Chain A
Amino acid sequence: ETGVTQTPRHLVMGMTNKKSLKCEQHLGHNAMYWYKQSAKKPLELMFVYSLEERVENNSVPSRFSPECPNSSHLFLHLHTLQPEDSALYLCASSRTQGENQPQHFGDGTRLSIL
Protein backbone atom coordinates (compact mmCIF):
# COMPACT_ATOMS: atom_id res chain seq x y z
CA GLU A 1 0.00 0.00 0.00
CA THR A 2 1.72 3.13 -1.24
CA GLY A 3 -0.88 5.73 -0.32
CA VAL A 4 -1.26 6.55 -4.02
CA THR A 5 -4.06 4.70 -5.81
CA GLN A 6 -4.47 4.59 -9.57
CA THR A 7 -7.44 3.30 -11.55
CA PRO A 8 -7.87 1.46 -13.75
CA ARG A 9 -4.83 -0.83 -13.54
CA HIS A 10 -5.19 -1.82 -17.18
CA LEU A 11 -6.90 -0.04 -20.07
CA VAL A 12 -7.29 -1.03 -23.69
CA MET A 13 -8.77 1.57 -25.99
CA GLY A 14 -9.13 2.38 -29.64
CA MET A 15 -7.62 5.49 -31.16
CA THR A 16 -10.98 7.24 -31.36
CA ASN A 17 -12.06 6.54 -27.78
CA LYS A 18 -12.08 8.97 -24.87
CA LYS A 19 -11.09 7.68 -21.46
CA SER A 20 -9.71 9.03 -18.20
CA LEU A 21 -7.08 7.81 -15.78
CA LYS A 22 -7.60 8.54 -12.11
CA CYS A 23 -5.11 9.03 -9.30
CA GLU A 24 -5.88 9.56 -5.63
CA GLN A 25 -3.36 10.11 -2.86
CA HIS A 26 -4.05 9.59 0.84
CA LEU A 27 -0.81 11.10 2.10
CA GLY A 28 -1.85 14.72 2.56
CA HIS A 29 0.62 15.79 -0.13
CA ASN A 30 0.33 19.05 -2.04
CA ALA A 31 2.10 18.11 -5.28
CA MET A 32 1.10 15.50 -7.85
CA TYR A 33 2.73 14.29 -11.04
CA TRP A 34 2.00 12.29 -14.16
CA TYR A 35 4.81 10.21 -15.71
CA LYS A 36 4.94 8.03 -18.81
CA GLN A 37 7.06 4.87 -18.71
CA SER A 38 7.71 3.19 -22.03
CA ALA A 39 9.81 0.10 -22.62
CA LYS A 40 13.53 0.85 -22.78
CA LYS A 41 13.00 4.55 -22.05
CA PRO A 42 13.53 6.53 -18.87
CA LEU A 43 10.54 7.78 -16.94
CA GLU A 44 9.20 10.88 -18.70
CA LEU A 45 7.65 13.63 -16.63
CA MET A 46 4.43 14.83 -18.23
CA PHE A 47 2.70 17.21 -15.82
CA VAL A 48 3.26 18.67 -12.35
CA TYR A 49 0.55 20.11 -10.15
CA SER A 50 1.14 22.02 -6.93
CA LEU A 51 -1.88 22.94 -4.80
CA GLU A 52 -4.14 22.16 -7.76
CA GLU A 53 -2.25 24.54 -10.05
CA ARG A 54 -0.35 23.19 -13.04
CA VAL A 55 3.27 24.24 -12.72
CA GLU A 56 4.85 22.09 -15.39
CA ASN A 57 3.80 20.86 -18.81
CA ASN A 58 6.61 18.98 -20.49
CA SER A 59 5.60 19.59 -24.10
CA VAL A 60 2.94 16.92 -23.90
CA PRO A 61 0.59 16.58 -26.90
CA SER A 62 -2.87 18.07 -26.40
CA ARG A 63 -4.48 14.64 -26.71
CA PHE A 64 -3.43 14.29 -23.05
CA SER A 65 -5.38 16.66 -20.80
CA PRO A 66 -4.71 16.72 -17.05
CA GLU A 67 -7.14 17.85 -14.39
CA CYS A 68 -6.53 18.42 -10.69
CA PRO A 69 -9.80 19.26 -8.89
CA ASN A 70 -8.17 19.17 -5.44
CA SER A 71 -4.84 18.28 -3.91
CA SER A 72 -5.84 14.63 -3.42
CA HIS A 73 -7.04 13.84 -6.92
CA LEU A 74 -5.46 13.95 -10.33
CA PHE A 75 -6.92 12.89 -13.65
CA LEU A 76 -5.48 12.36 -17.09
CA HIS A 77 -8.07 12.65 -19.83
CA LEU A 78 -7.23 10.82 -23.03
CA HIS A 79 -8.65 11.32 -26.53
CA THR A 80 -7.64 10.27 -30.02
CA LEU A 81 -4.46 8.59 -28.82
CA GLN A 82 -1.85 7.04 -31.07
CA PRO A 83 -0.31 3.54 -30.87
CA GLU A 84 2.95 5.06 -29.58
CA ASP A 85 1.04 6.28 -26.52
CA SER A 86 0.84 2.70 -25.27
CA ALA A 87 2.81 2.70 -22.02
CA LEU A 88 2.61 2.54 -18.25
CA TYR A 89 1.27 5.82 -16.85
CA LEU A 90 2.43 6.50 -13.33
CA CYS A 91 1.05 9.01 -10.89
CA ALA A 92 3.20 10.29 -8.04
CA SER A 93 2.86 12.72 -5.18
CA SER A 94 5.19 14.57 -2.84
CA ARG A 95 4.66 16.62 0.27
CA THR A 96 5.38 19.84 -1.57
CA GLN A 97 6.62 20.82 -4.97
CA GLY A 98 9.83 22.04 -3.42
CA GLU A 99 13.17 20.41 -3.88
CA ASN A 100 14.47 17.48 -1.90
CA GLN A 101 11.08 15.83 -1.65
CA PRO A 102 10.85 12.09 -2.36
CA GLN A 103 8.07 11.09 -4.69
CA HIS A 104 5.57 8.37 -3.88
CA PHE A 105 4.32 6.44 -6.89
CA GLY A 106 1.10 4.58 -7.56
CA ASP A 107 1.00 1.17 -9.23
CA GLY A 108 0.29 2.76 -12.60
CA THR A 109 -2.20 2.22 -15.40
CA ARG A 110 -1.02 -0.05 -18.21
CA LEU A 111 -2.49 1.56 -21.36
CA SER A 112 -2.72 -0.22 -24.69
CA ILE A 113 -3.89 1.61 -27.81
CA LEU A 114 -5.32 -0.58 -30.55
Chain B
Amino acid sequence: GQQVMQIPQYQHVQEGEDFTTYCNSSTTLSNIQWYKQRPGGHPVFLIQLVKSGEVKKQKRLTFQFGEAKKNSSLHITATQTTDVGTYFCAGRNWLTGGGNKLTFGTGTQLKVEL
Protein backbone atom coordinates (compact mmCIF):
# COMPACT_ATOMS: atom_id res chain seq x y z
CA GLY B 1 0.00 0.00 0.00
CA GLN B 2 0.92 3.62 -0.24
CA GLN B 3 3.35 4.89 2.37
CA VAL B 4 4.19 8.48 3.20
CA MET B 5 7.29 9.06 5.30
CA GLN B 6 8.43 12.28 6.88
CA ILE B 7 11.84 13.26 8.15
CA PRO B 8 12.95 14.20 10.65
CA GLN B 9 10.63 12.63 13.22
CA TYR B 10 11.58 15.28 15.80
CA GLN B 11 13.32 18.64 15.60
CA HIS B 12 14.39 20.99 18.38
CA VAL B 13 15.39 24.49 17.31
CA GLN B 14 16.21 27.75 18.99
CA GLU B 15 13.75 30.53 18.33
CA GLY B 16 14.84 32.37 15.20
CA GLU B 17 16.37 29.33 13.52
CA ASP B 18 14.94 27.87 10.34
CA PHE B 19 13.16 24.51 10.14
CA THR B 20 12.43 22.12 7.30
CA THR B 21 10.43 18.90 7.17
CA TYR B 22 10.48 16.56 4.19
CA CYS B 23 7.70 14.32 2.98
CA ASN B 24 8.31 11.34 0.69
CA SER B 25 5.71 9.09 -0.89
CA SER B 26 6.22 5.59 -2.26
CA THR B 27 3.79 6.43 -5.08
CA THR B 28 3.04 9.43 -7.27
CA LEU B 29 0.56 11.79 -5.66
CA SER B 30 -2.23 13.73 -7.31
CA ASN B 31 -1.98 16.42 -4.65
CA ILE B 32 -0.47 17.00 -1.24
CA GLN B 33 -1.90 18.73 1.78
CA TRP B 34 -0.14 19.96 4.90
CA TYR B 35 -1.64 20.03 8.38
CA LYS B 36 -0.42 21.32 11.74
CA GLN B 37 -1.40 19.76 15.05
CA ARG B 38 -0.62 21.70 18.21
CA PRO B 39 0.08 19.70 21.39
CA GLY B 40 -3.26 18.45 22.72
CA GLY B 41 -5.03 19.75 19.63
CA HIS B 42 -6.34 18.47 16.35
CA PRO B 43 -4.87 18.67 12.83
CA VAL B 44 -5.56 21.98 11.11
CA PHE B 45 -5.35 22.33 7.35
CA LEU B 46 -2.56 24.65 6.19
CA ILE B 47 -2.32 24.39 2.42
CA GLN B 48 -2.70 22.20 -0.65
CA LEU B 49 -0.33 21.77 -3.58
CA VAL B 50 -1.48 20.26 -6.84
CA LYS B 51 0.94 21.08 -9.65
CA SER B 52 4.34 19.54 -10.25
CA GLY B 53 7.07 21.84 -8.91
CA GLU B 54 4.53 24.13 -7.24
CA VAL B 55 5.74 26.50 -4.53
CA LYS B 56 3.41 28.36 -2.19
CA LYS B 57 4.15 30.75 0.66
CA GLN B 58 2.23 31.68 3.78
CA LYS B 59 4.16 34.37 5.63
CA ARG B 60 7.21 32.54 7.06
CA LEU B 61 6.11 29.14 5.70
CA THR B 62 7.17 27.90 2.25
CA PHE B 63 5.67 24.76 0.77
CA GLN B 64 7.05 22.91 -2.22
CA PHE B 65 5.79 20.00 -4.32
CA GLY B 66 8.43 17.97 -6.13
CA GLU B 67 8.69 17.75 -9.90
CA ALA B 68 7.88 14.04 -9.82
CA LYS B 69 5.00 14.65 -7.39
CA LYS B 70 6.41 12.09 -4.96
CA ASN B 71 7.86 14.45 -2.39
CA SER B 72 7.16 17.73 -0.71
CA SER B 73 8.74 20.03 1.85
CA LEU B 74 7.70 22.63 4.38
CA HIS B 75 10.23 25.27 5.36
CA ILE B 76 9.72 27.71 8.22
CA THR B 77 11.96 30.78 8.32
CA ALA B 78 12.89 32.26 11.70
CA THR B 79 10.81 29.97 13.89
CA GLN B 80 8.71 31.32 16.72
CA THR B 81 7.29 29.58 19.78
CA THR B 82 3.89 29.64 18.11
CA ASP B 83 5.26 27.25 15.47
CA VAL B 84 5.44 24.44 18.02
CA GLY B 85 3.47 21.35 16.98
CA THR B 86 3.50 18.36 14.69
CA TYR B 87 3.42 18.94 10.96
CA PHE B 88 1.81 16.29 8.78
CA CYS B 89 1.77 15.95 5.04
CA ALA B 90 -1.10 14.02 3.48
CA GLY B 91 -1.35 12.82 -0.05
CA ARG B 92 -3.72 11.10 -2.37
CA ASN B 93 -2.51 8.38 -4.70
CA TRP B 94 -3.60 9.29 -8.23
CA LEU B 95 -3.96 5.62 -9.08
CA THR B 96 -6.79 5.12 -6.59
CA GLY B 97 -9.11 7.21 -8.67
CA GLY B 98 -11.64 9.69 -7.36
CA GLY B 99 -12.27 10.34 -3.75
CA ASN B 100 -10.72 12.15 -0.87
CA LYS B 101 -8.87 9.29 0.77
CA LEU B 102 -5.76 10.84 2.23
CA THR B 103 -2.72 8.94 3.42
CA PHE B 104 -1.09 10.88 6.22
CA GLY B 105 2.63 11.06 6.73
CA THR B 106 4.35 10.05 9.93
CA GLY B 107 4.66 13.67 11.04
CA THR B 108 7.50 15.89 12.24
CA GLN B 109 7.28 17.18 15.79
CA LEU B 110 8.79 20.65 16.13
CA LYS B 111 9.87 22.15 19.45
CA VAL B 112 11.08 25.72 19.65
CA GLU B 113 13.14 26.90 22.60
CA LEU B 114 13.72 30.48 23.65
Contact = CB atoms under 8 A, between A and B. Distances in A.
From DSSP, what is the main secondary structure of chain B's interface residues?
Answer: strand
Contacts of B90: 43
Interface centre among B42, B50, B99, B101 (most CB of A within 10 A): B42
A90 B90 CA distance: 15
B92 to A, nearest CB: 6
Interface string A90-109: 10001011111111111110
Given A45-B102, A99-B31, 20 more contacts: A2-B42, A41-B106, A42-B4, A42-B103, A43-B104, A45-B104, A48-B100, A55-B99, A56-B101, A97-B99, A98-B100, A99-B92, A99-B99, A102-B45, A103-B33, A103-B43, A105-B43, A106-B42, A107-B41, A107-B42
A26 B45 CA distance: 17
- Nearest 9 A-B pairs (CB), nearest first? A102-B45, A43-B104, A105-B42, A42-B104, A42-B106, A105-B43, A97-B100, A101-B100, A107-B42
Interface residues of B, number: 24
Interface centre among A55, A101, A102 (most CB of B within 10 A): A102
Nearest to B107: A42
Interface of A: 2, 31, 41-45, 48, 55-56, 90, 94, 96-108
